[in-house]
Every structure is written in structure tokens, then in C-alpha cells.
Structure 1
Amino acid sequence: MNKWICGLLALCLASVAFAQDALEDSERVADKGAQSEPTAVPQAPALPLVKISEAQRALLAEKARDLGERRFGDPDLAEQFFVNSRTGPLITRGANRSVGVGTLSPQMYFPALQQIRKMPRISSATGQRFSALSGAQDPPVDPFAGTPINALGTWSNLGPANQGGRTRAILIDPGNPNIMYAGGVAGGVWKSTDAGANWITTTDQMANLAVVTLAFDPGNSSVIYAGTGEGFGNGDAVRGAGVFKSTDAGVTWSQLAATNNSNFNFSNKLLVSPRNSLRIWVATSIGVYRSTDGGTSFSQVLNASSVGGCTDMAMQLQGASGFLFVSCGRTSSQGTVYRADDSDVSTLSSVLSLTGQGRSSIAIAPSNESVVYVMASQRNAGGGPGQYGLHGIYRSTTSGASGSFTTQRQGNIAPANTTQKINQLLLSNPVIALLTECGFGTSSFSNQGWYDNVLAVDPVDPDILWAGGIDLWRSDNAGVDWGTASFWWFDKGVDPEYHHADQHALVFHPQYNGTSNRILFAGSDGGVERTDNARAPVNTTLAQICGAPVAGGAAWVDRNNGYVTTQFYDGAVYPDGLTYFGGLQDNGTQRGVSPGLNWTTLLGGDGAYAAVDTLGDANPANDVLLAANTGNSMKRSTDGGANFVAANTGITGSGFLFIAPFTMNESNRQQIWTGGFDIWRSVNQTNAWSRATGSSSTCGAGSISAIATHPLDGNRVLIGMSDGCYHYNTAALSAPNSGSWPGGGSIVSGYISWMAWDPTDVNVGYATVSAFGINNVFKTTNGGVSWSPSVGSGLTAMPQIPALSVVVNPNNSQQVFVGTDLGVFTSIDGGASWNVENSGFARTPVESLKLNQAGTQLYAFTHGRGAWVTSICNPCSYTIGGTLSGLAAGRTVTLRNNGGDDLVVSANGSFSFATALSDGAGYAVTVFAQPTNPNQACVVSNGSGNVAGANVSNVSVVCTTNTYTIGGTLSGLAAGRSVTLRNNGGNDLVLSANGAFSFTTPITDGNAYAVTVFAQPTNPSQTCVVSNGSGNVAGANVSNVSVVCTTNTYTIGGTLSGLAAGASVSLQNNGGDTLALSANGAFSFATALADGSSYSVTVFAQPAGSFQQVCQLSSGSGTVTGANVTTVAVTCVSENLFSNGFE
């Protein structure tokens, strides 16, 4: 057990204060630090104290002493504070005090969301600006779609990964129980694929993150419906946007158009009929709506707007028909349970509506659906001690027919004994209600039946009933007798019986059987928790409830790893930026240490502002931490957060807001400022306080909502008020406790949420305003004397939504960061224009922005998605790069920037030089070494210029492989003739003269060439022969192809006939070529003649011998015409023939 430190028991217990009456919230927010005194419990006479040993009593007393510090939060006032600070001005005193000017509606954010899509984006991590998500088109087109988010310089989540936020919906896939879904009221829908061990978000882009109810399509678990808008607290706490639907197991979501109206702003519970999945029921703040077409349209079947609407539904799931039960009414309104046939709304009727009945929860026994239970709270009817406590447990065994409900346990009666009292505490804080009996102090009721009220029946035993209020309870006899199954005030991580306070959901494992599977999940203000033994003994005796739990009781395991849904109000960062802590709604003050994502709790309850002084040493045990709960409740730790003591001794007066600001001067951390109606100053780190003004109300009637002290001059202090007024002082450290400050006025009619100085200039400061429809960032350049809007214009204008925080970069005073209800916005010109910060997290409220001491890390503490961090480039440097194309496979090109930064690129695509350049620097990209083998020429375009606040990515380098001509020499071509050459089977070249030639089409380096003769010369016919005609281009023109043409030659011949045997004849061609023939037949001269040559055959020598013959020619002359001549005819005859004929 922790050794807690509250010294005076009575003082601690007196500080326990909780919500009692929503109608009186406006007064409580301002005057009493947003806390109301609990109502004393009427005690039955002679109730005995618990019988425990003195040693055990001492241990439990020590644990109980700090209940005032460890108490759960005040959700009613937290919700109202959230709304009031956005619908101001908030007037907190005088006759005209108010709680804001209207209600929050999701429609108020829609114009801003459209504007954001058209604004330029910026990454403070890289200093880059990006184009808008969309132009005039809608839906938007993201030009960076597919780009890894870290390439855009995004943020990192810091957790708390082990602490969930308020969870009202848990859904388990019946076909695969490892798949679970949970709904965070400010964190959207989360999914687990390992039975809740780890979670991831599925709805960061959903238009509204206030998810309070989830339901499957009974026939298809990939179809999920999510209802938004938490309608269980203040009537003006409207933050829903109807019903959303996913058809891909939560990957994407779309709003059901029929629910995009005010009737569905509080979609508190939805069910899908197991008999017809097109039939959807939604319980809203107006009444009950039903769709019969899968959500395309809805019709109202019950109007309950006069009683605050309906908050719960349950349906009989088995059989061809079944009843739907609806619970309507909450807080001060009459509660009623209605019953309707699932398929016939005409049967809708009241079945339970008792005097004093308020908000009620319903549960049907899965093992016997005729058994129906109702747990009703006591409505606020006159402010009795039982208001919002248990009205009663009611049971029907006939399917909830009218008149069939019996009272199992009556509430709101003076207890006759301790057991009776215990059985009435289901919707109360049991340990606080039993302080007298436990021997620890004076008992008081702290009831929250209007806020946390949930009921569930054991799946296999209709008599085992679970109830959730502040703690968890179980009855094993149908709701008659009860025992606690959890302790919110035990130590988390130490006591297995610990379970976070404020229960909202109870879901059994789909395979629960009461024996081998007893798994139960619970959703609370602390996220998701699980027990593996829902049949374990419960705490029914006084001793057990007072802190000596029953042996073997239910052990609870936190199932929040990655379920980052916590809601910060403020955060503080240690100088090195590696440790940070902050105040969370209903989850106290917690601290995280990098690189871990799990945080530890330092204080309980609702956390608030935080500050740290490390005293300049390296021992964390010496660190001074300031923290607070609500109102005027500042606490200090001087041992690094191990123990806290009150740090507000000496502060008097009223007007402290629910979350009251305080600040520590960064340059002199002894100087602390806080305030309500008046400003209070400490110059010795809260050891003593003095009022620094008589009244801060010279301008209006608000409370102090923002404080800024200048790190260069602690005398310069700015004060912002909840009504839009401001005050400034240049001698604040010596300001007297009377009179008003010398300067002030009204900045705007709205709630001033934050003020910050430019840390480098005592005259420049900023203020943010949490309001809709008006300028929300203001700037002073004269030390606070006057203020003017600093919101930009056109597409760089700040959207008119609540702005919550502002901080100035100490290393670049032109860089200003503003946190809003829709994320972070950044200006790089002192507020003249604005950009959407590329945060990477959902558009959730950023309540606090802080920097580490060096100004190199920016931290965002959000209200719904935990804490985040990003680096801030200083100075910002930018890469030079672009795209390369055309590079041959396996080759490289060397680029050079500014004559020295060489980059070897080996693949086409994007490239970037290793050396980044500062904004405004020149760049000049050239090719230092071209690719070789094959040789390529790479040409740069857009290669020079000056950096203009963004990475240069438009340098273009295009490589083309070098080409070379193929050619050589031609010889031998006959005059006037031509020859046709061909390369690689396609590139023809006609040559008509001897000499050098070259083909017209070049060949890329490394490629093959093959030169052939496509058409030989004619007239005369020639044969051209190619040598060196093939090969591969090797980085140079080919010029050694040789083509030699020779004219074709042909023989001259014919036939010889008539030559006498033994005789011979000699022929001669062209007077020189002699041919002796001695036989008849074909003949041919030995010397061939060139085509086109003349031939003339004659008889050179006639035959001689015993017979005198004469040989005569025919066709003996002519011209060779491309073929052998074979037509010469030589005929020999006897001379006697001639003589005989003529003599």
C-alpha cells in the first residue's frame, strides 16, 4: 500500500465534494472551485463499528485519509466546464452571471472543417509547407495520398497507453472473441484483435469522436453501427453527430445521413434487431427512433424530450418475436421504462414508472429472457439525501409485463442496520458512505446514478446480477443482497481488487459459461478492465467494504494498452523534454517518461494545471511539482511527486473556475501566479501568498481564466478573464493588495482561454479565445496596452472555432502555435497567416501546448487522445532533390549540388542530396559523371534556384543513352549506278557514288548493328560485298564497314557444228582471245567479259587437214547484257561442196 500523506483526517474528508444538482452547476463552477459539499447521511441509531484489529484499523485508516485527494472526478461539472468555456462569455458573478450563451452542436464545427481542408498544411518537424487537402472540390483529394505520414514530418504519441478514458461501449465479435471494439466518449472507436491486450484507433477521420454506443449487424459482424453524443450529464453537453456505420469491420466509417440532425445529437443507445437487420433502434435525447431500411430513414416512435430523452435499451434476442425495453428520463425528470414488440411499435407502453424514479438501466437474463431487471436511480426531487442514489432494483419474470415488476431492493430509505445500508449504495460511493461505520470519520452520500448506471445479468444464471455505479457490485440472489466487486480507492497496480471509478459498460465474453470461462469486461472512466472470474466472492461485510477485501475476490486487469483516450486539461514538460506530466479529467495527475508510453498516477480525481521546477540538478527526487484538482486546490511536492501537500494556504476569496489556471515563471520558478476573482502571487514557490490586486473586475464580471508571466521580466504579467476582459501590469511583483491593475479592457466578448508572451520581446504577446464565430487569436505589440486580431485572411485565416492554447517558439518568434478544438495551427509570420499543422492525430481539442526548455520539442496535451510531441526544426533546413528517369539498368550517374555535394544515383525515381540547405540558400544541380557502358547523357532541368521554405523536389534529370552512326566506305561502284545497303534489317541506304557513307538512323551505345546489301547495282550488274559489317556499338561512331563492288563478268560462247573429225578451227574474240576447237559442241572463250562489254567473234584459223573445210559464223558479235553469251554459232562445211556447186 502507498503511504499517503494527508495529515488531518477531518480536513481531508471535508474536501470530498461531488456533483449533487445539475441545476445549480453554474453557481458551483465559479464560487466553490466547482465543488459542492456532500449531504450527510442520516444514521440509524447504534450502528456498530466494524470489528477489526487495531493494526488493521491503522493501516486502513492511513489508506482512507487520502480519499479527498484520491476521489474520482466530478463528471457533471467537468462536462459543464467544457461547454461553458466554449459558449461564453462566462459571467461568474453579479446579477447577470451565466453559464454560457448556448449549447454545443457538432454543426458548429462543420464550416471550420471545410475551411481546414482548403488551408495550406505545415510540418513544424521539417519546416515544410504542403498544399491544401482540397481546393473547391469536396470530398477532398489529398495530393500526398500514399505518402508515408512520417515523410511529412508527423507527431509521436506519448500515451498514456495504460490509462483509458471514459468508455461507454464495448463490443465483442461473437464469432471471434479476440476481436473487440470500444467507444471512447472523446476518442472514437478503437479495435483490438487480441482480446483487448492492445488497441488501435479506427476513427481518427470520423467527423465526431464522441462514441457512446456500438452494435453489430447480427448477421454480419463486419457491419458496425456507432452512436455519438454523450447525453447522460448536463443537458447542454451536446457533442454528437448522429449514427455512423462501418461495413468493413471498422476500417472506414460514414455518417447515416438520416441522423445528421439535432434529433440524434445524443444517440445514447442503439440496437439492431436479430430478427431483421434492417430494423435499427436508437435511443436519443429526444426519444426513440426506428429505421426499417438499414438506417436510410428513421421515424420517431416515442417522444421523451420532456424528460431529457432516453438513455438505455435492451432487447430479447431469442425466438421469432421479442420485446424491446427502453428507459427514459434522467436527473430531475421522471424515469419510465417502456416495452414494445420488436416488430410492432404500436404496442409501446409504460411498464415501470415509480414515484421518484430517475435514470434507469435495463438488463435481460440471456439464459431466461423472461427475466428482466431494472436498476433505477433516485431522481432529483427536492434534494434529499438519496438524490441520484439507488431508487430500487426491480425484477420481472414475465418478460416485463406491466405490473409484473417486484421490488428486490429498495433504496433511499433510512437504513435499519449496516447490511441494509450497504445494499442501498449501488449508485453511491460506498467507502465515503461508510466512513462512520468504518471508524474513519463522518459518512456522507456521494451519488451519481444520473451519470454512471449500468446493469448486466450473468449469461448462464438469471439470479446473478451485476450493477455498476461508482464501484462494481454483484448480487447472487436476484438483486436482493449485494456486495462490492471492486475498490476505486485502492492502489492501481498494487491491489488486484482495484478498479477505476465510474462504471458505464458491462460485457460478458461470448463464450462465458460460468465455469471454464468467467470473463467479464467493464468500461469506466478509466477505460477497459477485465476480470477472469466473474463468479469470485464479493465484499458483503462492513469490514470487507472498509478495505479488508474478501479472500479470492475478483481481480481486475487493466486492458488499456494503446487505448489512448484520456482527456488532458493541462500539461507540464521537464526542461529536457523526456519527462512530462499533466492533469486529466477524472484520471488525476499523471506522469510519463520517454520512451515509455505508460504513465503513473501522482494525484487522483480531476487533474488540472501542472508545473515543474527541477532545481537545476539531476536528482529527480528533489524536483518540485505543482498540481491541482478542481477549483482552488493547488498542491506541491518537493520530492519529485512522491508526496503532495496543500500549496494554497493563505489564498482566500472565491471565483476559482472548475479548472483554475496557475503559472510558474520559466526564468524564475519561485514566482507562481493563480486566481479566481482576484489575482494571487507567490514569490517563494507557494510557501506564502499575497493578493496582488484588490479586484480584477474593473472590466467585467468574469473569473481569471489565463495568466502569462514574461520570462525576461517577471514584473510583466497578463491576465485573461472568462468574460473576455484582460489586465496587464508592468510592475506586478510589487502590486499592492488593493486597487485595480493599471491596464486592462475587453479583448472580445468570449472566454479567454490562454495568454502567452513572445519570450524574446517584452512588448509582444498573444491571447486565444474559446468561442465560435468570432476572431479567436489576438496579438499585442505594446506590452498588453491594446490588442488586435491575429487571424490571417482568405485561405490562410484561422477557423472561427474555440482556440484553447498558444505558445511562441523562443528560437523563432515568428513561429506561433495555437491549439484549438480541431487540432494545432501554426503561423510562421507572427500570426499574419496560418497553416494546419500536420499533426497525424485526430482533430481533437488541444487544451495545452508546451515547449521543452531548448524550444526544440512541441508538446500537445489533448482532450481525448492523450499527449503528443513533435520536433521543431531550428534552423529549418531543406533537402534538394527531384526525379531521375531514363537511367540504364545497372548503371549510375553522379550528380553534384553547388559544386561539392556529390550524389551517386543508381536507379530511376526520386533522389535527394544528403546535405540539406537553409531557407533562402541557393542550389545548383549538375551532372558530375555521366553513365557509361552504355554511355548515356543525363540532362538537368529545374536544377538551380533558391530554397523557399520547403524541400526542393522538382529537379528533373533525364538520361538518354548515346547513339552513334554506322558507316564506312564504298568502292567499285560503276559510274551512274547505285547500291542499296541495309542495317539491322530495316534502315536502308541508297549509295550512288564511291566514297564514305553513313546510315541515317544512329544506334544506341552497346546495341548491335548488321550491314548487308539489300539491292545490288544493275546496268551493269555488280556484286557488292560487305566486310566488317556487324558488331556492337562501343561508344563511338562505326566507320570501318567496307563495301566493295565489282562489275559482274560473263563468258562468250556458243556451239560448233560440222567440224570434220580430226580437224580443228581457231576462233578469236575481240581480236585477242583465241580459242582452238577440235570437236563439235558448245564452246566458251576463257576470258570473260564485263557486263555491257562488246564482243566480236571471228574465225582466226580455218580447219586444215586432208579435208579442206570453211567455218562460218552467225551471231558472232554483240554486247554482254547481264548473262553469258551462248548464241554464237560456228558452222563448218567442206570446200568441195562449194567448188562442186560453182564449177
Structure 2
Amino acid sequence: MKKTTYALLFAAFAIFTFTKCSHQTKILNDGENGMHVPGSYKSLTMMSAIRAYPMEDIPEDGYFKAFEYSKKFLGKASADNSQWEALGPQNIGGRTLDICLNPQNPNTIYAASASGGLWRSYTGGVGEDVWERISLGYPGLAIATVEVSPSDSNIIFVGTGECYGYGEYYPSMSFRATRGLSGIGALKSTDNGVTWNLVIDWSYNQQRGVQRIKFDPYNPEIVWAATTEGTYKSVDSGESWELVHDVVMATDIAINPEDPDLVFVACGGMFSPGNGIYRTQDGGENWQLMDMGIGGPTNFGGKARIMIAKSYPSMIYASIGNSQSYGATGTWLCMSPDNGDSWGVVNTENYSDYQGWYSHYVGVSPFDHNKLFCGGINMFQSQNGGFALDLDEGIIGDWFHPDWLHLDHHDIEFHPTDPDIIYFAHDGGVHRTDDGGETFYSCNWGYQTAQFYPGFSNSHTDSLLANGGLQDNFSCIYEGEKYWRRVVGGDGSWSAINQDDNDIIYNSYQNLSILRSNDGGYGYYNITPPFGGNSNFISPYVLSPVDNETMYAGRSVIYKSVNSGNSWAATNTSAQFSDNPALTMDVSSTSTEVVYVATMPWYGRSQLFKTINGGDEWVDMTGGLPDRIITDIHVDVIDHDLVFVTLGGFEASHLYKTTNGGGSWIDIGASLPDIPGWSVVNDPVYPGIIYFGNEFGVYVSYDDGESWAEFIDGMGDGVFAMDLKISPSNNKLRVATHGNGVFERSLEVISNVVDVDSEGEDFGLINYPNPFITQTTISFKLTDKAKVNISVFDVTGKLLDVPINSMLNKGHHQISWKIKDGVSNNGVYLCRLNVDGRSQSIKMRVK
């Protein structure tokens, strides 16, 4: 009777469906050919290009070989027993691709983070500090799926790799968004996550991904895996696998709860070949491509998700997105009431829209086959089997409220015994409803998976103030608590803090949209530079710490402001930078006129430019740097001719420095792992102590780059170290990660390291007493007559005094130095001795 009813409904609905499908294309004038290009695509494209350029794609084995090298040849730093400490945000989750409830105890839930690893909560995600990161033994993994055995809670499978298209068919730069972070295959634990083993070993095929894993409901030894290479099946709990269906880009699996040989697989991603819904009725021996019925798709650009109605097992739903990231959009909600024998289009509400390749699903309540949740950009709910879909975002309309249901939905999970409890995974982490979808609340408390972009900033005087931008999670301000305050909107981008007045804060969102707050981030004013030239999705700008008014902001035209962004002037033409937009920049801490800028290779190779006259002239300083994308620039806080740059790509060094303002470059990264570099900073007192960040974590060199060691204690398996910054007021190193929030670690661990000149000489530079109250004696020795300069700085690089700048004879020398009036008499000062171009530095401490 039910099948007849649904057939009649399909017939009545077909004419409406066919008509509506012809009007699905949404044209917005913000992308290629005037079409809307979503931020998710722009972000993934930018980051993937940085990893691959100048090659078409990353090496298949690049990451794992680098991981093996790091573990074999680069030991852990052993300065002392300190370790990294998490700063949060622990109230803002990052992109989450899957949720799993333990079938034996549904209060135990697992969350698969796109770039922050695997997480677990024993409280159903309810409460504060209720999540823990589970170590898998491998760094920087995108966890795409997690599944717990229906018969044994100790047995857990995870699939790795965030993939949206098949690389063989979309290898060019314009389609590098087919992947987020790489994976290594599938892992299995038999001891509740304590130890893990690779069961699908794609360590040397890291362009692949395992996107869904499902257990046979009657025989947990049988495991299915939907992967980029097709569908695999194991009959021995993952010990061995057989490729049972070779259509690529398998994105989902649905196993009939009454007949486990009846299995459906969804395939598709960015027009991958063979896309569609497939069925086997004999456990994978034979497969049939489903005919989706009148108005249903025969080919589509996005991906497909499927779910069987457990309360009506012959009924299966499919959510199919048409968008390949730009161009034609459209969404088909399809249903079969008879195990796939016939299909029809239930609804064409375009809930996936331009994210049809990226984030959508259909969820069917296991207690009521008429109750559906269709997640896409927004959430829709149906009480009549999908024929009517209503926008459903709860009662919280404030985007900055933690309980606001985030956009871009990736997965849904229903509680097995309570129909009112449902979990949702999206770009903002994890949310839950306890009333069947009437209201929602955040489960992100302690789930530290926020994905920071570059441009993180610290106050130089207040250790409890920091600022940064997040992937699709706005910007956020640290105020000394693990729960950060969310501000602005969009994809948070670069940030800045006025060091003379910390109430003046700068934030931005995509495409160099800059805002300034004069009241600590509560009210904002738009100070966006003009729209001349090309812009990266995440574009840089800097505020000079010298006067805290001069700003530089980068498109392919670099704009300058001398009044805190109230007005802007172009400093170059786009053609001077080959029409390539700025990707990163840094400004001198001692001069408003000295700036370094690196570009993204839209029309030519990545280049590094420098100005020493505030933008009146830009000089190409790329020199002998390899043809890789320059991802970060750090200018020494005292000497703006000492500059460090990191580089992406493979098969070249990822870290260089110059001691002459870019006149020549020195490779100091040859012994680092060969994966893209993302961030660098050196110690402000001991410039030869350098910190470097990549997708494995942080590395440290105590000898000016001659040797390196891992610096990841306290970070679990490691992190994606997107940005490194010094917090001068508490003498900490901070890392803003793309997937695990922010960590900090004390610089005191290296306070006894002596910074000598490049030839290994030690000038015996000391001061005593140290610490002192108002006056101290500075002592040093010379082996020959030489030109000597002694300069005293605060820890932000601000020059306070020059006690000596003259020729001195060989021998021992002493001078008395007293804190000047008007200078703070607490904290740490930096004393740097320069002798004929060679240097040594010490910290002088005040009681």
C-alpha cells in the first residue's frame, strides 16, 4: 500500500520537479564568468596550489616520506621539560566531516576533524572540556570518517583524506580544490583508540582518501569502505580488502538493515566518471547503476549522499548536488520506496546550491521515515518524506552566539534509542538537538579544532590579548580565557593590534575586507582599501609597530595608509607585480618605510618585493629563491635586513634567510622535512634561534639553521602550524594552527643559549647585576680594534638607547647603562652588540 502511495506522489510531483530543475542556476557577479565561486573552493584552491606549485599535484608519497625522515633524523628538542599548552579557542569548532556514536554506549561520540585529527567525548558532547584528541601516531591528518564496531567498542576504524574530486580527471591548478589535507588510508584500533594500525595502507598514495566506512549489521567482520578509488570490502575485519566496485569517488555507503547483501554506494565528485547511485544485491558481486527517475540526474557535478530509513528498510533517500564549485547549481532529493527498483525526485529545493561538491546530506530519522533533515548550506527539515522542506536553524539567529547552527553541513548522526537527540557536523564543529530539531546547542566546549589562517597578532604589552581569523568561523579575540570572543564575520583573515592603544583592533574577512575597532572589538568601521588589482581569498595587511598608524594592504596593488586606514593610496601598479596578488607581507619594527611582500603566482612565478621608502619604489628581491610559493615572511624585530621566508611545494628547501635585505639568500632549511613550509619567526634576543612551522608541527634550530629538532611536546601527533608569533609581554612563542586552535610555549627554555656571530666568535657580552633595578654594567671584549655599536631595545624591537657607536681598541670594555626616564622599568630589555657586522645579544632583566 505504501509503495503505491509513493508511486502516485512521484507521478504528481514529476511535472513540478522537471519545471523547477530548469531554473536552478544561480548567477552572482563575484566569480569566474560572473558566477558565484564559494569561499570553500577558493580557500582549498589557494592552499592546495601552495602545496603543489609548480607541479600539477603533490607527490603521491611526499608527506609520508617527509614524516619518516622527520622521525628518523630530527629528534625532539631537549632544552628543558616544558611543553606546549593549549590556549583555545575551546568554544569554536572547526570543519568536521563525520560523527559517530558508540553503538554500545551512545554517550560516547567521535568527531572527525578535517585538519585537527580524531576526537572523542564520553558525555555525548555535553558540558565543558568534554573532548579529548585521540593520538593516531601520524600528524596532520584529515579524518574523513570514523566508525565503531556494532559488537565491540574497542574496535574503531577511521578513514583519512579530505577529497572532493578525482585527481586523474581534474589535475590542473584550477581544480586543486579537489583535496584538503592528505590522508594515508584507513586505520584500525582494537584497544579503544590506544594504538592504531594501517589496514588500508596508502602512505605512499596520499592523493587518495577513504571517505566512508560501514560495518555489516549482522557480521562485524565484514567492513565496507567508500574511497576515491572505488568501493572496498573486507570479510576479516580489515585484515585484507577487495575492490568490489571500481567506480571512483565513492562518497557514501548504505547497507540494508534487514538484508546486508543489499548495499548502495554513492559515487561522484566534480564530474568524476561514472557518477551516480549503485546497488548490489549479492554483497558486491554485481552492481547496477540506478535510474533516478523522471527529472532525476543522469550526470552531476557535485557529490551524492545516501541513507536508508531504518523504520522502513526498503526506502532509501539520496541527496545529489550538481555544483562542481562554480557554474550550474542544483540539488535533487531523490527517494526509492522499493529497495532501488524505482526512483523519483522528491524535491529540488536547492539546499546544497554552490556547495553541492562540498557539503550536503540527507538524514532520515530511524524512528520515522517521514522525518528528514537535509543539510547543505543551511539546514532544512521535512515531516512528510521530503515533499515539503522547511528552513530549520533553531531559535538562535545571532551568528556570534555559540548555539547558532552553523552553515555548510557535512554529516548527521541519530541517537539509536532517543528520537529527539541528533548530532550535526558542519564547518563550525558539532551541534546537537535534544528536542528533535526544534532547538540546537553547541557541543564544541573543549573541541579545539579551529582552523586559523595567517595574520595572527598579539598585544606586545598584554599577554591576555591576541587576535586572529578562522576558516568560515569569523575572527576571534583571546582575552585570557579558553573561550574566545567571536567578531566580524565570513572567513576571518589577517588581524592587527595597535600596540600603543590595545583598544584599537583590526580584523578582516575574505578578499581584503578590513575593519577597525576603536573599542576592543565591539564596534567596527569599514576601512577596506580600494578594489584595484587582483586579490587573494585571504589577503595580507600589516600595521607598523613604529607609529601604529602606517598600514600596508596587499592586492596586486599594494595600498598604504598613514592614518590607520582612514584613507589609502596605491604604491604601485598591478603590472609591476605581474598582476599577481600579495599572499604575505611583513613590515620593519624600526622603520615605517621598510616592507617586504610576496605574491601568489596567478600569471607568473611567486616573487618577493621590497620597499625602503614607504612604497615609492618596489624592488624585486626574489633572487636565487627557488620557484615555489612564498608562504611567510618574518623581519627580525631589530635588524630589518635580517629576513626569513618560508616556501611551499616539494623537492626544494622550504626556509631561506637573508642578512642583507634580500641582496642574497641563504638556504637554512635543507635538513628540514620536504613538505610545504608555512611559518617562521626568530627569537628577538637570540636571532640565531629560529622556529619553523609546517603541517607536522613546529621545529626549532639553536644554531641559525644548521640543525633542526622537532618542537611538538604537548601537541599530540602534531599540528598544522599556520602562523608563528612571539608574545613579548610574557616571553612566549605562540602557534596559530589550521585545525587545532592556538598553543603557546615559553621562550625561557632557551634563555641560556649564547647567540654568537656567524664565525663562531663569542665577544663575552654580559651584564651585571642581572636582574637589576635601574642600572647595570655591560661588559664585552674585542680581539682587535673595531667599530662597535651597542643598542638596547625592548622586546618588541623598539630602539631605546645606543650607549656606544664608535671605534674601540682591542681588550675588555665596560659601560654603565641606566634606564632612562619615561621608559618602563620592568620586564626584559634586549642588548645587541655589533662588531664590524658581527653580533651577539643578551637579555637584561629588571627586578
The normalised TM-score by structure 2 is: 0.78
CA shift for structure 1 position 526: 0.8
Q: Which amino acid aligns with 2:518?
A: T
Radius of gyration: which is bigger? 1
Q: Describe how 1:52-63 pairs up with structure 2 within 5 A.
A: none
Superposition map of 1:305-316 within 5 A: 305=248, 309-316=249-256
- Answer yes or no: is 1:809 the counterpart of 2:691: no
1:1078-1102, Cα deviation, whole Å (9 max, x unpaired): xxxxxxxxxxxxxxxxxxxxxxxxx
Give matches, 1:599-748, under 5 Å. 599-616=484-501, 623-649=503-529, 651-695=530-574, 697=576, 702-722=580-600, 723-731=605-613, 733=614, 735-736=615-616, 740-741=618-619, 745=623, 747-748=625-626
Structure-2 residue corresponding to 1:325: 264
Q: Within 5 A, what are the aligned runs for 1:406-555?
A: 406-409=344-347, 411=348, 424-428=349-353, 447-486=354-393, 490-492=397-399, 494=401, 498-512=404-418, 514=419, 518-534=420-436, 554-555=438-439
Displacement of 1:216 after TM fit?
2.0
Q: After TM superposition, give the deviation of residue 344 of structure 1 in Å.
A: 4.3
> Does structure 1 conserve the Cα–Cα contact (< 8 Å) formed by 2:515 and 2:525?
yes
Report percent identity of matched pairs. Answer: 28
Structure 1 residues 177, 451: CA separation in 2 closer, same or farther (over 3 Å shift)?
same
After superposition, the C-alpha distances for 1:389-413 in whole angstroms (9 at most, x for unaligned) are: 32x2222221122xx113322x2xx
* C-alpha contact 2:656 2:665 (8 A) present in aligned 1: yes
SS of residue matched to 2:47: helix
Correspondence for 1:243 among 140, 165, 186? 186
Deviations 1:344-382 (CA, angstroms, capped at 9, x unpaired): 422444353733545222111111201111122235599
Check whether the contact 1:473–1:485 (CA below 8 A) recurs between aligned residues: yes
Name the CA distance, whole Å, in 2 between partners of 1:342 and 1:615.
72
Aligned length: 704
Picking from 178, 198, 207, the partner of 1:255 is 198
Structure-2 residue corresponding to 1:1013 = none
Query: 2:536 and 2:184 mapped to 1: Cα distance?
Result: 29
C-alpha RMSD of the superposition: 2.9
2:806 corresponds to: none
- Contact 1:103 1:238 (8 Å CA) reproduced: no
Give me the whole-angstrom Cα distance separating, in 1, the residues matched to 2:500 and 2:255.
61
- Residue 746 of structure 2 corresponds to 871
Change (3 A) 1:111 1:850: same
CA 1:347–1:752: 2 relative to 1, 3 Å: closer
Match of 1:836 in 2: 710
Name the aligned partner's letter for residue 387 of structure 2: V
User: Who is 1:399 aligned against?
Assistant: 339
Task: Please point out which of 622, 636, 660 is paired with 1:782.
Answer: 660
- Answer yes or no: is the 8 Å Cα contact 1:330–1:379 preserved in 2: no
* Paired position in structure 2 for 1:17: none
Give 1:984-1003 correspondences, 5 Å limit: none
**Structure 1 residues 489, 176: CA separation in 2 closer, same or farther (over 3 Å shift)?**
closer
Structure 1 unaligned blocks of 5 or more: 1-19, 40-71, 90-100, 130-150, 412-423, 429-446, 537-553, 879-1143
Conserved? CA contact 1:589–1:601, under 8 Å: yes
Instruction: State the AA in 1 paired with 2:483.
Output: N
Q: State the alpha-carbon separation in 1 of the partners of residues 546 and 682 from structure 2.
A: 15
1:488 deviation in Å?
A: 10
Q: Deviations over 1:546-583 (max 9, x none)?
A: xxxxxxxx111100111111111131112222121211
Partner of 1:153: 82
> Are the counterparts in 2 of residues 729 and 742 from structure 1 also a CA contact under 8 Å?
no
Q: Distance in 1 between matches of 2:490 and 2:579?
A: 29
The yes-or-no answer on 1:75 pairing with 2:75 is no
CA contact (8 A) 1:693 1:741 kept: no
Alignment of 1:1073-1088 (within 5 A): none
1:193-241 Cα shifts (integer Å, max 9, x gaps): 1111211000353355211111222221210110111123632546121
The aligned counterpart of 1:1018 is: none
Residues in 1 aligned to 2:207 and 2:749: alpha-carbon distance in whole angstroms: 47
Which amino acid in the other structure matches residue 862 of structure 1? T
Alignment partners' CA distance in 2, 1:85 and 1:367: 47
Partner of 2:732: 857
CA contact (8 A) 1:486 1:499 kept: yes
Residue 560 in structure 1 maps to residue 444 in structure 2:
yes
Higher RCO (CA-CA < 8 Å; seq separation 6+): 2
Relative to structure 1, the CA distance from residue 835 to residue 103 in structure 2 (aligned partners, 3 Å threshold; closer, same or farther) is same
Q: Deviations over 1:708-760 (max 9, x none)?
A: 211122222222233342222222x2x43xx6537554522001111112222
- Partner residue, 2:468: 582
Asked whether the 8 Å contact 2:38–2:325 carries over to 1, the reply is: no
Does the alignment pair 1:226 with 2:169? no
CA distance change for structure 1 residues 85 and 458 in 2, over 3 Å: closer, same or farther? same
Q: Using the TM superposition, give the Cα deviation of residue 119 of structure 1 relative to its aligned residue in structure 2, in angstroms.
A: 4.2
Deviations 1:893-924 (A, max 9, x none): xxxxxxxxxxxxxxxxxxxxxxxxxxxxxxxx
- Secondary structure (helix, strand or coil) at the match of 1:86 reads helix
Q: Secondary structure at the match of 1:369?
A: coil
1:953-992 superposed matches below 5 A: none
Residues 776-807 of structure 1: per-residue CA shift (max 9 Å, x gap): 11111112222121226xxxx22222111111
> Alpha-carbon deviations, 1:86-140, whole Å to 9, x = none?
2224xxxxxxxxxxx22246621222222222445565xxxx44xxxxxxxxxxx
Q: What is the correspondence of 1:381-400 to structure 2 with a 5 Å cutoff?
A: 383-384=327-328, 387=329, 389-390=330-331, 392-400=332-340
Which residue in the other structure is 2:8 paired with? none
CA distance in structure 2 between the aligned counterparts of 1:506 and 1:816, rounded to whole angstroms:
44
Q: Aligned with 2:285: secondary structure? A: strand
Residues 400 and 486, structure 2, Cα contact 8 Å, conserved in 1: no
CA contact 1:817–1:825 (8 Å) conserved in 2: yes
Q: Distance in 2 between matches of 1:718 and 1:164?
A: 33
Query: Structure 2: how far apart are the matches of 1:555 and 1:488?
Result: 6
**CA offset at residue 258 of structure 1?**
4.5
What CA distance in whole angstroms lies between the structure 1 residues aligned with 2:253 and 2:390? 25
Q: Which residue of 2 aligns with 1:337?
A: 277
1:590·1:601 contact (CA, 8 Å) conserved in 2?
yes
The one of 120, 123, 129 aligned to 1:191: 120
Partner Cα separation in structure 1 for residue 33 and residue 693 of structure 2: 31
CA contact (8 A) 1:212 1:230 kept: yes
Secondary structure (helix, strand or coil) at the match of 2:686 reads coil
Q: Give the match's secondary structure for 1:873.
A: helix
Distance 2:383 2:364 in 1: 10
Deviation at 1:831, TM superposition (A): 2.4
Question: In structure 2, what is the Cα distance between the partners aligned to 1:800 and 1:260?
Answer: 15
User: Relative to 1, partners in 2 of residues 1:254 and 1:208: Cα closer, same or farther, differing over 3 Å?
Assistant: farther
Q: Secondary structure at the match of 2:146?
A: strand
Counterpart Cα distance in 1 of 2:511 and 2:742: 23
Q: Which runs of 5+ in 2 are unaligned?
A: 1-23, 166-176, 754-847
Q: SS in structure 1 opposite 2:509?
A: coil
Q: CA deviation at 1:304?
A: 2.2
